[in-house]
Copies of this chain bind each other. A is one copy, B any other.
Amino acid sequence: MDPFMQAALEEARLGLAEGGIPIGSVIVHKGRIIGRGHNRRIQQGSAIKHGEMDAFENAGRQPASVYREAVLYTTLSPCSMCSGAILLYGIPKVIIGENRTFMGEEELLRSRGVELEVLQDASCVGLMRDFISARPELWNEDIGE
């Protein structure tokens, strides 16, 4: 597996081990991870710390020039909030672990010129499928349902 998607998957597994929703993300600039994170809804009682948002937060304040050369990796198709953050900062490319268990705002992102690559990685799918079947109420809460 791509080492950056591997890092995002490690974040997702770390979240699961903490009792959280297993979604992870890393932001890569010039071949280096500048921010990594995972969903913290359960751990921090957070409504905004999706995996991608946590990665943005942990990357800290970056100049626009960095975001515009960055690639965001996420184990799951990004929801509207995370897609909005991707658009806000002008991230040009997003690598998505899978979109089988949840389809985010891929159409919107593509329509705004963001390049997407969907891996349909079996580990990413398995992690979410198991979590959703074990804790459907937590998953629904996380996607506003």
Contacts and interface: CB of A to CB of B under 8 A. Distances in A.
* Size bracket of the A interface: 20 to 34
Contacts of A77: none
Per DSSP, are chain A's interface residues mostly helix, strand or loop, or mixed? helix
A64 B105 contact: no
A81 B63 CA distance: 17
Nearest to A112: B80
A30 interface: no
Contacts of A89: 47, 144
B79 A61 contact: no
Contacts of A56: 47-48
Contacts of A48: 48, 53, 56-57, 85
Interface string A127-144: 000000000000011011
Interface of A: 41, 45-48, 53, 56-57, 59-64, 67, 79-85, 87-90, 105, 108, 140-141, 143-145
Minimum-distance CB pairs A-B, first 9: A84-B84, A80-B84, A80-B87, A81-B84, A81-B85, A89-B144, A81-B88, A80-B88, A88-B144
